[in-house]
Structure 1
């Protein structure tokens, strides 16, 4: 039974960071992941003339950001991506870009100004938006069809940020703090995978970390954590292998914990942690990435939003899931690709 100072279960961003920091400090570390790759929800793949991100797309904020700092310290070029939208109506015409982006930015700012009494986020944004329209664009009140469609669009945008089915599933109460600096910094053709190469000291043919061992396609079946602080933790794997360590760091997703924590930990987790796992929700954000021989979309934008007219919606009785495609974007790592963004129920459907 091989023994280590620390075993890290799950080699996504959190797990790889923990494993690399401990290995750089001279600790003997074993990293285990059930997938055939490291990265977790970061998954850069070759596509067309470059790469696309099946998972995380951007560095959100640059100050203070250890991710952004690592890129700069290693001379990796990263590019700020403008995500202001060109918005198309369902009949192919262009919507009022300035108006839509103004209302969109206002709604996103409302999120940062919660009411004293917590409530559903969607209801709060709707009230604030209607007050704003009455004050700044009173003539728009005559176009209720546009307002209702914009509210539907905004619901999808918030769901896109929060990975939820509805913006009313989210409370206005939040402790989230946005980092300073640009919120959409792209790794472009370098790919987000570069972060993991830097962490593991393999970037530009680096030698790696000699005290870190990584085993992929290794699913953990049980973690036996002793109540005696002097005893070692035993990690049992589905392939029959067992490993021991002084410490084990578990970084698997909430979804995995929801499904398996009762069987994964022996003895069971304290009730407080079990209750937290049960209470937390697991959302979904989906991408449909299309490759074309040549780019045919407008080149002065990289994001394109969609607003449906009520009469056009009525004419579509099949494939109504398309109504919940929020937007399309041109990933900076592949000039001939378009990413269609979706979430929630439709994200589960198309996956």
Structure 2
């Protein structure tokens, strides 16, 4: 295809592939440029154990009004709901109060969907509401201050996994985000989440692809020259020296890439309002430790771990990262595999 296009899409994660495929299906000539050697962005399905696992995004969160879920159903791809009720263990190996913990977790998650009128840190808001709930429903728990501390620390970790934050007080309780209805954890199981991208790009079941879409991998974009005050085309310059032109460019790179490169990536520079947003929005870290065993030895429920204060004091600084292991889930795509979740800055020490 020529080096001039109707639209160039930079970054081929979920947003980029959706934009590129939508335009291509409308008959537009589209070029997708991806710096990595694969498409998918934060979705990465890999063979592991006796099947596949998701190194990145794991579930379809909601089925009502979900274009992802509807794409799977339309293409006869079976997706399975996963039950994430927790079996609770304490850090000394004893079992915890599973029924109470699950009740409190569900209450906290529900509270997050009903933000306060005035801005407030999410952790402070949830803690305040939770203490009121415990006082009303389980007043005897108020005497167990160790349990309350341990639960709040676990809930902080769990929240960080949902919010991709390093601490739940880094996140505002104020939000306009609305959850989709239906089951919140639908798994692609042995199909893998990458199936969604095959559907988007019309390559599922050996589909022919999209004739007006050209995809180039290992194409790192270093400069986007956009004609702010003229009617000329946008120029996209790659690290290898290749130059592509288009009437429009859609940039879908991650916030991390924008933070690192916005000052050099765009000419002329981005508007001040966009630069302020890029600078001020924070990035949290969520990691997975995925383990395969010769055979399954666990129960079907997920596990959540509550660290006793006394046990945490016994952990050396070098090994303190283990206290941030909040729980486990079990990939539906591999029967002999479990995933341990970790969130926060200490993730950088473990998941490299």
Partner in structure 2 of residue 310 of structure 1: 309
Counterpart-to-counterpart distance in 2, 1:229 and 1:24: 29
Query: Are 2:62 and 2:183, in contact at CA under 8 Å, matched by a contact in 1?
Result: yes
Corresponding residue of 1:218:
219
Q: Are 2:52 and 1:40 equivalent residues in the alignment?
A: no
Query: How many Å separate the matches in 1 of 2:340 and 2:157?
Result: 13
1:3 aligns with 2:16: no
Cα shift readout 1:267-308 (whole Å, capped 9, x = no counterpart): 10111111111111122111111111111111x31x110011
Question: 2:228 corresponds to which residue?
Answer: 227
Other-structure match for 2:327: 327
SS at match of 1:345: coil
Question: Which residue number corresponds to residue 157 of structure 2?
Answer: 156
Q: Name the structure 2 match of 1:169.
A: 170
Q: Per-residue CA shift, 1:227-256, capped at 9, x if unaligned?
A: 245210000000010000011110001110
Per-residue deviation at 1:310?
A: 2.0
Distance 1:259 1:314 in 2: 37
Please state whether the residue corresponding to 2:41 is helix, strand or coil. coil
Q: TM-score, normalising length from structure 2?
A: 0.97
Task: State the TM-score, normalized to the length of structure 1.
Answer: 0.97
**Which residue does 2:179 correspond to in 1?**
178
Match of 1:341 in 2: 341
Residue of structure 2 in register with 1:109 after alignment: 110
Q: Aligned equivalents of 2:275 and 2:282: distance in 1?
A: 13
Q: Once superposed, which parts of structure 1, at least 4 consecutive aligned residues long, lie more than 6 Å away?
A: none
| Deviation at residue 316 of structure 1 after TM alignment | 2.1
- Secondary structure of 1:213 counterpart: strand
Whole-angstrom distance in 2 between the partners of 1:266 and 1:200: 31
Distance 1:163 1:224 in 2: 32
Match of 2:28 in 1: 27
Does 1:59 find its partner at 2:51? no
Deviations, residues 154-209 of structure 1 (Å, cap 9, x unaligned): 11111111111111111111001000000000000000000000011000000111
On the 8 A contact 2:321/2:347 being kept in 1, the answer is no
In structure 2, the residue matched to 1:89 is 90
Find the counterpart in structure 1 of residue 119 from structure 2: 118
- Secondary structure (helix, strand or coil) at the match of 2:211 reads coil
Distance of 2:114 and 2:213 partners within structure 1: 45
SS in 2 for 1:286: strand
The Cα RMSD (Å) is: 1.1
Contact preservation (8 Å) 2:62, 2:180: yes
C-alpha distance in structure 2 between counterparts of 1:58 and 1:162, whole Å:
15
Structure 1 residue 23 displacement after superposition:
0.8
**Mapped pair 1:255 → 2:256:** yes
Aligned positions, number: 349
Tell me, yes or no, if the aligned pair for 2:224 and 2:266 is still in contact at 8 Å.
Answer: yes
CA distance in 2, matches of 1:72, 1:274: 40
